[in-house]
Amino acid sequence: MRIESIHIYGFGKWIDQHFSLEQDGPIEIAGDNESGKSTLRQFILYILFGLKSKQIERFTPKQGSTVGGRLTVSGLANQTVTIERVQGKHKNQAIIYGESGTQMDEEWLKSALQGIDRKEFQSIYTFDAHDLKQIQDLDNQSLHEVLLAVGMTGSDRIYYAEKNLEKTLADLFKPYGKKPEINQLFQELADLKKKLTEAKEKESQYQQQLTEIEELDEQLIQLQQAKSNTIQRQEQAEKRLTHYALIEDYYFTTAQLKRQDATITFPVEGLKRLNEWKDSLLPLKSEEQVLRNNLNEVEQQISQLALMPDQKFKTVERGLKIQYEMNQIEADIQQIGKRIKEIENEMISKLENMQINLTIEQLRETELPFYLEEAWADLANQREKLSLEKQYVENDKSSTGRIKQELLKEKEQLQKALLSQDKIKQYQEEIAQANRAEQQEQYRKWQQTFQQQLKVSNLVILIGFLLAVGLFLVTDLLWVVVTLILAVGQNVAIRLYGKAVKQWLQPDLKEVVVLSQAEIKERERIIEQQTELQQSLSEMDKDVQKYQNEQLKQAERFSFLTERIEQIEQKISDQKQQYPFLTNVELTYWPRLYQQVITQKEKLLEIQRLETEISDLHEQLKEKQRAIDILEIDTDDLESNMEKEQTKRTKHQQLQTRRAEWQSQLDTVLEKQKPYQEEINLLLHKAEVDTEEAFIEKGERKEELDRLQQKHTQLYDSLAVLFSEEEIKRIAEGDFDEEKTLQVLLEECKQVINETTEQIKEKQALLSDKKATIAMLEANEDTSILKHQLAIKQEELQEIAKQWAVYHVALSNLTEAKSTYSQKYMPQVFEQASEYFSKLTLGRYQHIYIEDNETVIVEDRGGFVFEVIELSQATKDQLYIALRFALSHVMANRLALPFLIDDGFVHFDANRKEKVLEMIEELSNDHQVLYFTANATTKASITL
C-alpha cells in the first residue's frame, strides 16, 4: 500500500492543504518544531482508523473549518482508491471511492487492511522519540511481551485473554477459599440439605383459614360498593352546588327567550352593513365634485394657447438640429488638433529623458521586430547566470581544497592514536575470562530460585489431592482423575525444566581471571574506541578520493563557463552596431528600453490616425452646411424662437394629459358609487322596509333576539359538559333543588362515607392477618421446592466444574500457541534485527537472541553477551529500532503498509543517524516510508 496524495479539509493547523507523495524511496517531510509534522502523521492515522469524538476535539481548527480530508492510496486493492473521512458526515465513517466511480464503506477498508486496527498499526508501522523512551523503561520480560504483542496479530487480545483465563480459574475455585463460585456451591448444598430435614410441619388449620378469607372478601366487596354509590351522590350534589349560579341563569334566560318574537325578517348584520356602505359612499361623492371643478378649469386654459403650425415647426426643428451638429464637429476638430500637439510634445520630452540620442524622425525609420525584446532579455539572463555560476565554481574550488587539507591532517592524527592488534586481542581474552566468573554467580542465583519453585510445586500437589477428595464427595470420578493429573503434571514439568536448565547454565570449572567492573568497562571502551578509529580512517580515505575527483570536475566546469561568457559578449556587440541608441545603455535595461521605444512607435501611429480623423470631420462640416441652405430658413434667433414654441407645446401636452386623467378619475368615481347604492337598496328590500329609519328600528329588535339566543346557547354548552340532556331539560323547566337543600344532602353523604371507610379498614386488617397465616403455612409445607432447588444446585456444580476444566485446557493451549509462534516466527525477526542492530552500532553488536523464550540478550563482536538492562540508553534506542524494522520486514509478506517515523533519531550521533537512514532506504523497497524530521537533509521531499 502507498499513499499517493493527501488532501486536508481541516485538521489542527492544516486547512485546505494538499501534499503529493508519488516519488519513490523514503519521503522526508521536514519542518521546524510546531510546523505541523506530528499533526500530519495523526491526520493519516485519523483517515485510516478514525478517532473518538473527545479525541478529535484537539484537532478542530480554530478558524472553524470542517475536520476531515482525503487520502489517495494504491496497492490496497486492484485499483487506486480515495479514502475520505469527515467529522459529522456519514456517522464519522470513512467512504472509499474507486476509479470507476464505485463507492465502498468502512467495512471494506477494514477488510482491505486485513483486520489491522489503529493500535496494531501504531505497534508495527509507526513510532517516535516518545516510543523509544518507553522501551528504555522495560525489563527483559516486559520487552519480550512487547515484541510478542507486536508480532502476533491480535496478540494484545491474546495477552488479556491469558490474564482473564487465570483470573477466571481463580474466581471459579480455590482449595481453601470461600468467595470462588465452586466453593460457594459446596456451602449452599449443605444449607439446602439442612432445610429439607426441617420442612414437614403445620398443615391442620389451612382449610379453615381459607374459608374465613373468602367471607371477608365478600364483606369487603359489599362495603366498597356502598361507599362507591354514596361517593357518586356526593359528587352529584357538589357539582350542582358549585354550578348553581349557571343553572339559575340558564333557567331565567330560557324564560326570556320564550317571550320574544322569533319570526323577525332581517338580513345578517344589517345595521352594521348599512353603516359601512354609507361611510364608503360619502368620500366618493366629495371626490366627484372636486373632479368636475378641475375639468372646467383645464378646458379654459387650453383654449387660451396659440400654437405654430406643425409643418413650420418641423422645418425649424430640423434646421436647429443641423446647426447643433455643425457646432459639435468644429469643437471635435479643435480637440483632435490639440491632442496631436500634446502627443508630439510628450514624445519629444520622453526621448530627451531617455538620453539615447534618438529623434522622432529616426524613430519613424527604425524597425523593431516583436522578437527583439525576448532576444535582449535572453542575452541579459545568460550573461548574469553564467557570471554567477562562474563565481560559485571559484568558491567551490577554494572550499574543496580547504576540506581536503583538513581531512589529511585529521587522518594523520587518527593514525597516531591506533593501538597494536596484539594489545587489543589481549584485552578481549581478559574480558572473556572475567565473564565466566560472572556466569558462575548467575548459576548460583538460579539454583536458589529453582529450589523455591520446587517447594511451591510440592505445595500445589498437596492442594490438588485435597481438591480431588472434595470433588470425589460431590461429583463423578472423572474430575478427580483430571485434578490429580494436573497437580502431578506441573510438578514433573518443573523438575524436567530444572534438569534441562542446569545442564545449560552450569559453567565449566576452568580457571578465570578476576577483574573489577571498572577494569572490564575500561577494556571494552578501549576496544570499541579502536574499532571506531579503524572505521573512521577507512571513511576518511574515501572522502579524500571523493574531493580529489571533485576538484577535477570543478576545473573543467570553470573553463567551459569562461568560453560561454566570451560568446555572449560578442552577441551584445553585434546588437549595439545594429541599434546605435543602445551604446550608452546597460544590457540589463535593454528589455525595459524596448518597451519604452515601442510605446513611442505606437504614439506615431496614434498621430497618423488622428490626422485622418480631422480630414473626415472637415468633409462632414461641408455636407451639413449644404443641408441647412436647402431648408431656406432664417437662422437668426432660431434657437430662441424654437425654445418658446417648445414651451407652449409642452404646456399644451401637459394640459391635455391632465384633462384626460381627471376625466378618467371622474368616470372611475361614478362607477365606484354604483355597487354601494345597490347594496343599500338590497338591504332595505331584504328587511321588507321602504326607509332607512324603519330598517334601523327593525334591526335593533333583531339584535336583542340574537343576544338572548347566543347567551342561551353558551349556557347550554356549559351545562352539557356537566349534566345529561334529560337533566338540562328539567333545569329549563325549573325542576332542580335549591341551594340549601343541596348543602344538607352533601353533609349527609360525607358522614356515611367516613363510617363506611372505617368498616373497610377493619375488614382489611383482619384479612391481612389471615393471609399472612396462610403464607406461613404454605412456606413450611414447600418440601418439594427444596428438593428441586437441591437438584438444580447439583447440576449447576457439575456445569461450573466442566467450565473450570474448559478454561484450564484453554489456558494450556494459549500458552502452547505463544510458544509455537515464538519458535516459528521470532527467529526470523531476530535474524533480521541482528543485521540491522549490527549496522546501527557500527558492528559492535553482532547478534540478538531470545533466551528461553523470555529474555532478550545481545552479543557483541567479541562474543560477550549482555542483557537489555545492561545496555546504555542510546543502545536501547538502537535495539528497539532494529527490532521494529525487522518486524516490519517480516510483516511485509502479510501486508506492506506505510511506515511513519516522527523524529525517532534525534538523539543519534552523525554516524549512527547515517546508518539508520540507509536502513530506511532499504526498508522503502517493501514499505512506503514517511520520515518526519526537524533536521532537514538534502533529500527532503516536502518542507513544511
Q: Regarding beta strands 126-128 and 899-902, do their DSSP bridges make them parallel or antiparallel, or are they unpaired?
A: parallel
Whether the per-residue pLDDT at 84 is higher than 90: the answer is yes
CA dist 524 and 875 (Å) reads 15
Residue 504 has a CB neighbour count (10 Å cut-off) of 9
Predicted confidence band of residue 163 (pLDDT cuts 50, 70, 90): low
500-514, 549-563, 585-599, 621-635, range with the lowest pLDDT: 500-514
pLDDT tens-place string over residues 440-486: 666 677 777 878 878 887 887 888 777 777 777 777 677 777 777 87
pLDDT tens-place string over residues 388-423: 888 888 888 888 888 888 888 888 887 787 777 777
How far, CA to CA in Å, does 491 sit from each of 391, 453, 464, 487, 761? 84, 10, 11, 7, 74
Whether the per-residue pLDDT at 724 is higher than 60: the answer is yes
Rounded to 10 deg, the angle between the 783-840 and 873-891 helix axes is 110
How far, CA to CA in Å, does 581 sit from each of 25, 317, 586? 56, 61, 11
In the chain, the amino acid numbered 749 is: C
Q: Which H, E and C letters describe 805-816, residue by residue?
A: HHHHHHHHHHHH
In the chain, the amino acid numbered 866 is: F
How far, CA to CA in Å, does 914 sit from each of 80, 547, 899, 920? 34, 19, 18, 10
pLDDT tens-place string over residues 683-707: 778 877 888 788 778 777 777 777 7
What does the pLDDT read at residue 502?
67
pLDDT tens-place string over residues 904-941: 676 677 777 788 888 888 888 888 888 888 877 777 77
Give the dihedral of Cα atoms 245, 249, 251, 254; nearest 10 deg: -160
25-29, 81-85, 168-172, 877-881, range with the lowest pLDDT: 168-172
Q: Tell me the backbone φ, ψ of residue 9, rounded to 5 degrees.
A: -75, -50
In the chain, the amino acid numbered 435 is: N
Q: Determine which helix (DSSP H) or strand (DSSP E) holds 732, and give its type and residue range.
A: helix 725-732
Which residue matches cell numbers 571502551?
A: 525
What is the average pLDDT score of the chain?
A: 78
Asked if 879 and 848 touch (Cβ cutoff 8 Å), the reply is yes
Asked if 445 and 506 touch (Cβ cutoff 8 Å), the reply is no
Predicted confidence band of residue 153 (pLDDT cuts 50, 70, 90): very low
What does the pLDDT read at residue 891?
65
What does the pLDDT read at residue 366?
77
Predicted confidence band of residue 70 (pLDDT cuts 50, 70, 90): very high
DSSP annotation of 581? G
What does the pLDDT read at residue 204?
53
140-154, 192-206, 569-583, range with the lowest pLDDT: 140-154
116-125, 182-191, 716-725, range with the lowest pLDDT: 182-191
What does the pLDDT read at residue 82?
92
CA dist 141 and 127 (Å) reads 21
Average pLDDT over residues 522-531: 82
What does the pLDDT read at residue 438?
62
Predicted confidence band of residue 156 (pLDDT cuts 50, 70, 90): very low
Q: Which three cell numbers stand for residue 757?
A: 371507610
CA dist 446 and 503 (Å) reads 12
Asked if 37 and 932 touch (Cβ cutoff 8 Å), the reply is yes
What does the pLDDT read at residue 160?
57
Predicted confidence band of residue 509 (pLDDT cuts 50, 70, 90): very low
Percent above pLDDT 90 for the chain: 2
DSSP letter for each residue of 511-547: ------HHHHHHHHHHHHHHHHHHHHHHHHHHHHHHH
Average pLDDT over residues 603-621: 85
Tell which residue, 922, 929, 915, has the closest CA to residue 837.
Answer: 915
Helices (H) and strands (E) in the chain, counts: 25, 14
CA dist 890 and 124 (Å) reads 11
What does the pLDDT read at residue 140?
43
83-97, 116-130, 210-224, 755-769, range with the lowest pLDDT: 116-130
CA dist 511 and 508 (Å) reads 9
> Which of helix, strand or coil describes residue 855?
strand
In the chain, the amino acid numbered 71 is: L
What does the pLDDT read at residue 139?
42
Percent helix, percent strand, percent coil in the chain, to nearest 5? 75, 10, 20
CA dist 6 and 42 (Å) reads 12
CA dist 576 and 587 (Å) reads 10
What does the pLDDT read at residue 506?
60
How far, CA to CA in Å, does 738 sit from each of 234, 241, 244, 735? 16, 9, 8, 10
CB neighbour list of residue 75: distance below 8 Å, 6 or more residues apart: 1, 2, 896
Q: Tell me the backbone φ, ψ of residue 141, rounded to 5 degrees.
A: -65, -45
CB neighbour list of residue 755: distance below 8 Å, 6 or more residues apart: none
Predicted confidence band of residue 72 (pLDDT cuts 50, 70, 90): very high
Asked if 919 and 841 touch (Cβ cutoff 8 Å), the reply is no
CA dist 128 and 900 (Å) reads 9
CA dist 681 and 694 (Å) reads 13
> Which of helix, strand or coil describes residue 865?
strand
In the chain, the amino acid numbered 526 is: I
Q: Which three cell numbers stand for residue 294?
A: 378641475
What does the pLDDT read at residue 599?
82
Predicted confidence band of residue 136 (pLDDT cuts 50, 70, 90): very low
> Which of helix, strand or coil describes residue 781?
coil
Average pLDDT over residues 658-668: 85
What does the pLDDT read at residue 150?
46
> Which of helix, strand or coil describes residue 203?
coil
DSSP letter for each residue of 102-137: -EE-HHHHHHHTTT--HHHHHHHHEEEHHHHHHHHT
